[in-house]
Amino acid sequence: MQIKEIATRPFDDQRPGTSGLRKKVSVFQQPHYLENFVQSIFDSLDGLSGATLVLGGDGRYHNRQAIQVILRMAAANGVGRVLVGRDGLLSTPAASCVIRKHGTLGGIILSASHNPAGPEGDFGIKYNTANGGPAPEAVTEAIYRRSREIERYRILETADLDLSRDGRQTLGEMQVEVIDPVADYAGLMESLFDFEAIRRLLAGGFRLRFDAMHAVTGPYAEEILQQRLGAPAGSLLHATPLEDFGGGHPDPNLTYASELVEIMYGEDAPDFGAASDGDGDRNMILGRRFFVTPSDSLALLAANARLTPGYRDGLKGIARSMPTSQAADRVAEKLGIPAYETPTGWKFFGNLLDAGLATLCGEESFGTGSDHVREKDGLWAVLFWLNILAARGEPLETIVRAHWREFGRNYYSRHDYEGVATEAAQGLMDALRKRLPDLPGRTLGGHRVDYADDFSYTDPVDGSLSRGQGLRIGFSDGARIVFRLSGTGTEGATLRVYLERYEADPARQDQDAQSALAGLIRLADELAGIRERTGRERPTVIT
Ligand code: G1P
Ligand code: ZN
C-alpha cells in the first residue's frame, strides 16, 4: 500500500458555515473537492499524528464513497485509529457521544442535516472537537484558510474496506475499528432516563409513533424504542435509512412530517408522536391531537427534569436562543437558576455547557439538548418526554396545560418568508433598525414597548462579543416580536419573524396560536413593511 501525494488546486468556496461545509452532491463529486477539504481539516489540527478520530454520517447519498476516501486519507496523514460507525452511519448526537466517551481528538461527521438527499440533493461535512461539539470559528477559519492555499493532499492507494461488520482492521499503519453506531449512545440514554418506567408505560398500552423520516435515527429507534423499551412493531415509521431519505425532506415539523401529523390528529390517535431529522439532532413532539412547540418543550423538560435519573439533582442553568420563546425563563426563575439568552445557532451553547453554567438548552427550531453531549439531540428529547409521561402517568396535553396554568402560556409562532430578494430583505432590516430607538415607551397595538434593539451577546465564558443577531421589540406585557435573516438559507434571503405573546389567565390559554397572535402579526407588518417590501402577501412557512 502506497501513500500518494496528489497535486491539486484550491477551490474558493470551502468556507464552513456553523454546520460545516454544505453543498450540492455534484459539487462534492468534483475531482479533489472532498479531498481538498479533508486535507485542510487534517492540516489544521494539532496532534493528529497517532490520534484517534471518530467518523460517520447520516447515510445520505455519497456517504459511503466519502467515508472510504476519508479513511484512506486519514491513514496517509498519520492518524492512529478511526472509530467508524457500521455501514458509515452515526447520528450527529451519537458521534458527539462517541467522541466524548472514547476521549478522541475529534470526529468527522458527514451530514447536511434535514436538507434533501440523493444525487440532486445536498451533502455536508463537519469537524467536531474533543468536547464533542462543532469546531469553534477559529478552527473552521483555519480550515478555510488552508483550503485556499492547498497544493497537494495525501491518500493511500488501496481498495475499499468492508464496513458492514464490527471489529478491527488495519489500513496501512492505521487501525480502523468498525463500531455499532447505536451501542454507546443507547448506553448513555439508559444512564439518563428511567428505562424500566418507560417499559412499564409501554407494556401498559401507551401507544407511540416515532417517525425516522427514512434517515439516520431508524436504527437508533429500533434498538432503543423497540428492543430495549419494548415498543410494539408498528410504532416506527420510515425506520429504514435510505440514501435519498425516500425523496422526502427530513425536517421534523408540522409541514414536512405530515404523515405523522395526520396519524396524531386522526381517529384513534396514539398517545405520543415524535420525529427526528436527517442526522438525528432535531425533534418534534406531539400528543394526541396536540402539538408541543419546541419552546414549550424546553420549558417543560426543565420544569420536570427532576423526574428523570439523569437530571434528578436539578439543573445548573437553562439556555435558549434569543428568538426562542421566553417560557423557559419563567421556569428558570421559579427554580432559582440562571437563564441564558444566546444568539441563534448551537455553537453558543457549547461554552455554557463546557463551563458548567447550563444543563439544558434549546432553540425554537426543533432543537433541544443538554450537557450529555455537545450537539442537540432528537431521540434524547423523545426519551426525556417518555420518562416524564411515565413518571406522571397523565396524558401529554394534560401535562402541558397544567404547566401553562402554573407558569402562563407563551403563544408562539415563527413566520418565514423564504427566497426573498436579498436587497429587499436587507432594506427591510436596515429601515426597521433605524426606527428602533424611537419605539421604547410607545404603545403599539395595545402593547407598550419596553425595549427595542439589535441583539448582541457577550459570551460569559470567553468574553467574545457577537453583534447584529436579530432585531428585538420587547413589550412590557411579555409579548415580543423578533426579526432575523436566516444564516442557513441557500436561495436569496429568508426573513424570519418570531412572534410571542404571554397569557397568564388559564381561561384564555385555549386559543389557536395564529389567532392569539393576530394582533402582533399585523403589528409586525406595520412596523417592518413586510408585504410592501417583500411583495409577499403571506409567509412561505408557518411553524
Ligand atoms: C436555522 C435555525 C437555527 C439552527 C440552524 C442550524 O438557522 O433557525 O435555530 O441553529 O438552522 O440548524 P437560520 O436559518 O435561522 O440561521
Ligand atoms: Zn440536523
pLDDT tens-place string over residues 183-226: 999 999 999 999 999 999 999 999 999 999 999 999 999 999 99
Q: Would you say the CB of residue 344 lies under 6 angstroms from ligand 1? A: yes
pLDDT value at position 390? 98
Per-residue pLDDT tens over the stretch 144-172? 999 999 999 999 999 999 999 999 999 99
Helix (H, G, I), strand (E, B) or coil at 83: strand
Q: What does the alpha-carbon distance between residue 350 and residue 355 come to, in Å, rounded to a whole number? A: 8
- Cell digits of residue 330: 419563567
Say if residue 466 is in the same domain as residue 520.
yes
CB-CB contact of 157 with 172 (8 Å): no
Q: What's the gap in Å between 146 CA and the centre of ligand 1?
A: 26
Say if residue 123 is in the same domain as residue 89.
yes
Q: What does the alpha-carbon distance between residue 371 and residue 374 come to, in Å, rounded to a whole number? A: 6
CB-CB contact of 522 with 497 (8 Å): no
- Cell digits of residue 432: 426597521
Say if residue 449 is in the same domain as residue 355.
no
pLDDT value at position 424? 95
Place of cell 401529554: 396
Domain with 61, as residue range(s), is 2-179
Look up the CATH number of the domain holding residue 520: 3.30.310.50
Helix 33-44 and helix 137-149, axial crossing angle in degrees, nearest 10? 130
Q: Would you say the CB of residue 347 lies under 6 angstroms from ligand 1? A: no
pLDDT value at position 347? 83
Per-residue pLDDT tens over the stretch 395-450? 999 999 999 999 999 999 999 999 999 999 999 999 999 999 999 999 999 999 99
Say if residue 449 is in the same domain as residue 519.
yes
For β-strands 360-363 and 21-24, DSSP reports them as unpaired
Per-residue pLDDT tens over the stretch 253-288? 988 999 999 999 999 999 999 999 999 999 999 999
Which residue intervals of 81-169 are DSSP H helices? 92-101, 137-149
Say if residue 120 is in the same domain as residue 139.
yes
Q: Would you say the CB of residue 320 lies under 6 angstroms from ligand 1? A: no
Helix 396-407 and helix 294-304, axial crossing angle in degrees, nearest 10? 80
Q: Would you say the CB of residue 365 lies under 6 angstroms from ligand 1? A: yes
Say if residue 335 is in the same domain as residue 371.
yes
Say if residue 335 is in the same domain as residue 194.
yes
The DSSP result for 161-175, as a single string, is P--SS-EEEEETTEE
Q: What does the alpha-carbon distance between residue 187 and residue 202 come to, in Å, rounded to a whole number? A: 20
Q: What is the chain's mean pLDDT, rounded?
A: 96
Look up the CATH number of the domain holding residue 279: 3.40.120.10
| Closest residue to atom 6 of ligand 1, CA basis | 345
Q: What does the alpha-carbon distance between residue 218 and residue 44 come to, in Å, rounded to a whole number? A: 34
- Cell digits of residue 520: 402582533
Q: What's the gap in Å between 92 CA and the centre of ligand 1?
A: 16
| Nearest bound ligand to the CA of residue 278 | 2
Say if residue 387 is in the same domain as residue 243.
yes
Q: What does the alpha-carbon distance between residue 340 and residue 332 come to, in Å, rounded to a whole number? A: 10
Neighbouring C-beta atoms of residue 463, cutoff 10 Å: 7
pLDDT value at position 490? 66
Q: Would you say the CB of residue 486 lies under 6 angstroms from ligand 1? A: yes
Say if residue 399 is in the same domain as residue 417.
no
Q: What's the gap in Å between 94 CA and the centre of ligand 1?
A: 20
Its pTM stands at: 0.96
Q: What's the gap in Å between 344 CA and the centre of ligand 1?
A: 6
Q: Which helix (H) or strand (E) holds 334?
A: helix 327-335
pLDDT value at position 132? 97
| Closest residue to atom 12 of ligand 1, CA basis | 345
Look at residues 382, 407, 432 and tell me which one is the last residue of a structural domain.
Answer: 407
Per-residue pLDDT tens over the stretch 218-244? 999 999 999 999 999 899 999 999 999
CB-CB contact of 292 with 253 (8 Å): no
State yes or no: pLDDT of 367 exceeds 70. Answer: yes
Helix 183-192 and helix 92-101, axial crossing angle in degrees, nearest 10? 90
Listed range (151-165, 480-494, 497-511, 529-543) with the worst mean pLDDT: 480-494
pLDDT value at position 255? 87
| Nearest bound ligand to the CA of residue 363 | 1
Helix (H, G, I), strand (E, B) or coil at 339: strand
Q: Would you say the CB of residue 115 lies under 6 angstroms from ligand 1? A: no
Say if residue 425 is in the same domain as residue 340.
no
**CB within 8 A of 315, min separation 6: which ones?**
302, 305, 335, 337, 358, 359, 360
Total structural domains in the chain? Answer: 3
Look at residues 363, 382, 407 and tell me which one is the last residue of a structural domain.
Answer: 407
Known catalytic residues are: 113
Q: What's the gap in Å between 259 CA and the centre of ligand 2?
A: 19
State yes or no: pLDDT of 174 exceeds 80. Answer: yes
CB-CB contact of 125 with 62 (8 Å): no
Q: Which atom of ligand 1 is nearest to the CA of 18?
A: 6
Say if residue 147 is in the same domain as residue 197.
no
Q: Which atom of ligand 1 is nearest to the CA of 114?
A: 12
Q: Across-strand partners of 4?
A: 155
Q: Would you say the CB of residue 304 lies under 6 angstroms from ligand 1? A: no
Look at residues 179, 205, 225 and tell me which one is the last residue of a structural domain.
Answer: 179
Say if residue 336 is in the same domain as residue 452.
no
For the segment 56-69, the average pLDDT, to the nearest whole number, is: 97
CB-CB contact of 439 with 483 (8 Å): no
Per-residue pLDDT tens over the stretch 89-109? 999 999 999 999 999 999 999
